[in-house]
Structure 1
Amino acid sequence: MQVIWPDKTKSSAHSNEGYTLNILLTIGLILIIGYTAGWAFDKMGLPRIIGYIATGILFSPNTFDFVPADIMERTFPLMEVCLAFITFEVGGALRWSKVKKHEKEIISITMMASMVPLFLVAGGVLGIGLVFPSSLPFDTTALLMLALLLGAVAIPTEPAATFAVMHQYKAKGKVSDTILGVAALDDVLGVLMFSLTITVIFFFAGGEAGLFGNPALNGLYEIVIAILIGIVVALFIDPIAKFFKVEGEGQWVVIIFSLIIFCVGLAKAIHADLLLATMTMGIVVVNKSGNQKVIFEIIERYTEDLIFLFFFLLSGMQLNISTIPQATLLIVLFVILRTVAKFLGAGLGAKIVSAKPAIQKYTAGGLLPQGGIVIGLVLSIYQQDTFTAISDLLLAVIMGAVVIHELLGPVAAKYSLIKAGEIDPEKTEIS
């Protein structure tokens, strides 16, 4: 059956078909160009995903009119599914037997690498605004809101970018395990702290927020329900495989794809956190499923060249770099403060528990990327009247910072893992 998308400017079925084919042709061209760019970056000794993201930014309708404006809306569900597969595999890397070896390090680093950015970024922005009022022309209340919100969104790490680097260069070791554990946990902590920050702001400024009229309860609901969804769906994998007597790889592909997409859809339907739901699913599968080996072998075969290509191309297309000039100084300030804070926090957290020197020195390098989660957090409050004075600037800062973090973060992750001895430098040389 052929699906014909409606065209508001033309009424004939023939015109609609051409419009649909044009979008498909555009997607096909961007995929080819993106894959070629990734190949070229790999040959230069750089992570492939930088080429994917750069291609997405270049051919975004936010940058040029090369592609139809509604292509992002149409492909957004695909991006969510791709992210689900990546976070499922990130969760699958958190095997309890490995995590337990670094339990103290992961918890301590997560706390310090979250709290130090929160206070340093918030304090830095507030200080700049008070000392140089012309740079941030807001009243004290709006300035305080901006500082607190930027501090909160400085916490989360986008695990997909760092995981893609690890996957490309086959990185394994204590630093890699620690980075994945911290990246998973600080996303949860980031959502919680953002919700608590909104609660504080609404307490003093007035207003309502969230599904329950309370943003803290809303954030808690999203996290708890997401974890429950991930656990329940993961526990169904083995019984389903047994019932259908799944043996062939093709059958496993159907089961895995169906349940991961179902997990995403269910989480979305009841307003739970998609990232946490699929990550929890991966954690439960790798630790509880009797079929975990075949499941993750199949996922890995399709991850690097297909899922990563789709996800980072589409992520790049979502970024609106036209907003960056409006907030250049604040973007630079945010990126510098967050980077310094991540290194200080991760190093301090590792030192508190006397972690090995490599963990103390190189974990922070894998905690710099940021992506969809922080944009989503900001967009969740963008239309609320309480934040009208700062919402445009806040979104511009986050968009600009995400572009920088997504492009430079993989390079920092690769460098850190090379220095930690978990990537063979010979595999990254220009060929």
Structure 2
Amino acid sequence: MFNLILVVVAQMNGHSETTDLFHAAWEIGGALGLGLLIGVPAAALTGRLKDGEPLEIEALSLVFLTAGLALWLDVFFLIAGMTVGAVIVNTASHHQKAFHEIEHIQWPFVVLFFLLAGGALELEAALSLGGIGICFVALRAIARVFGGWVGANLSGRPSTERKWFGVALLPQAGIAIGMAMIASQRFPDWAPQILALTIGSTVIFELLGPIATLTAIRRVEAVSERD
């Protein structure tokens, strides 16, 4: 959806041609294909050296291989990476927990990512958003709460739990910043506003979201214990 919206926005502003639709299809379809191409053999081969647990070197190799090929082939690397992970987790039955070892080294990368993202934030652009930023935060919160409630209903969860699913989804992770960086590259004239809106809202949801998630978990646990 994100990739298709980029094409629509470009066409609305006269910066796109019909060929961009084919390019968007290639970015999405190619990313899925690349994810399957890497994920299927990785699911069978990783985790064979030590107690059914993929090693750090295996995890890092897959990350760099996926990212490098995605950039080289000009496909959506976020989709490619998520496809590889999903394939491995769901098809590698000999894994106790896919790439558990990478958790020991992930924090430096996470900190570096957010540091670089924060370095791209222009306070003047953030302050100029005003009502747009407030509306974005409000609409995202409403959409999460409503979407969680709809999903809980469709999955047949108990009525006492349904209202808390969306609340638990309020935290916003780094993937939103990653998409914002892609959008800012596509529309450099709007880059300061795009990054300011995304990074600013991420800060808000990362401060308030975990509290909301913890509250939702405790309320659902309390209801379960009474039942």
TM range (shorter): 0.7 to 0.9
Tell me the residue number matched to 1:225: 30
Tell me the residue number matched to 1:314: 113
**Identical columns (%):** 20
In structure 1, give the amino acid aligned to 2:26.
Y
- Counting only pairs closer than 5 Å after superposition, residues 78-89 of structure 1 correspond to structure 2 as none
SS in 2 for 1:363: helix
Pick aligned residue for 1:277 from 65, 72, 80: 80
Tell me the residue number matched to 2:91: 288
Is 2:184 the counterpart of 1:379?
A: yes
- Encode CA deviations 1:164-211: one digit per residue, 9 max, x unaligned: xxxxxxxxxxxxxxxxxxxxxxxxx3333x23532xx61x543326xx
Pick aligned residue for 2:153 from 351, 364, 371: 351
- Counting only pairs closer than 5 Å after superposition, residues 199-278 of structure 1 correspond to structure 2 as 202=11, 204-208=12-16, 213-214=19-20, 216-237=21-42, 240=45, 246-247=49-50, 252-278=55-81
In structure 1, give the amino acid aligned to 2:2.
G
Is the contact between residue 229 and residue 277 of structure 1 (CA under 8 Å) also seen in structure 2?
A: yes
User: In the TM superposition, what is the alpha-carbon distance from 1:321 to its structure 2 partner?
Assistant: 5.3
Is the contact between residue 374 and residue 398 of structure 1 (CA under 8 Å) also seen in structure 2?
A: no
In structure 1, give the amino acid aligned to 2:40.
L
- Encode CA deviations 1:332-385: one digit per residue, 9 max, x unaligned: 2210122122212332343356433355212212433153233134313323xx
- Encode CA deviations 1:24-83: one digit per residue, 9 max, x unaligned: xxxxxxxxxxxxxxxxxxxxxxxxxxxxxxxxxxxxxxxxxxxxxxxxxxxxxxxxxxxx
SS in 1 for 2:105: helix
Tell me the residue number matched to 2:8: 197
Distance 1:419 1:288 in 2: 34
Is the contact between residue 350 and residue 360 of structure 1 (CA under 8 Å) also seen in structure 2?
A: yes
Tell me the residue number matched to 1:114: none
Q: Summarize the Cα distance change of 1:267–1:394 in structure 2 as closer, same or farther, 3 Å threshold.
A: closer
User: In the TM superposition, what is the alpha-carbon distance from 1:393 to its structure 2 partner?
Assistant: 3.7
Tell me the residue number matched to 1:396: 196
User: In the TM superposition, what is the alpha-carbon distance from 1:267 to its structure 2 partner?
Assistant: 1.4
Aligned residues, how many? 216
Distance 2:220 2:112 in 1: 29
TM-score w.r.t. length of structure 2: 0.76
Is 2:164 the counterpart of 1:362?
A: yes
Distance 2:51 2:154 in 1: 49
SS in 2 for 1:292: coil
Q: Summarize the Cα distance change of 1:411–1:270 in structure 2 as closer, same or farther, 3 Å threshold.
A: farther
In structure 1, give the amino acid aligned to 2:15.
G
Distance 2:40 2:77 in 1: 18
User: In the TM superposition, what is the alpha-carbon distance from 1:311 to its structure 2 partner?
Assistant: 0.6
- Over aligned residue pairs, what C-alpha RMSD do you find? 3.2
Tell me the residue number matched to 1:407: 207
Higher relative contact order (CA 8 A, sep 6+): 1
Is the contact between residue 52 and residue 94 of structure 2 (CA under 8 Å) also seen in structure 1?
A: no
Structure 1: any 5+ residue segments left out of the alignment? 1-188, 423-431
Structure 2: any 5+ residue segments left out of the alignment? 223-227
Distance 1:404 1:300 in 2: 29
Tell me the residue number matched to 1:332: 134
Q: Summarize the Cα distance change of 1:318–1:241 in structure 2 as closer, same or farther, 3 Å threshold.
A: closer
TM-score w.r.t. length of structure 1: 0.43
Distance 2:7 2:160 in 1: 34
Who wins on radius of gyration, i.e. which is larger?
A: 1
Is the contact between residue 122 and residue 192 of structure 2 (CA under 8 Å) also seen in structure 1?
A: no
Is the contact between residue 129 and residue 193 of structure 2 (CA under 8 Å) also seen in structure 1?
A: yes
Distance 1:363 1:262 in 2: 35
User: In the TM superposition, what is the alpha-carbon distance from 1:325 to its structure 2 partner?
Assistant: 1.8
Q: Summarize the Cα distance change of 1:205–1:330 in structure 2 as closer, same or farther, 3 Å threshold.
A: closer
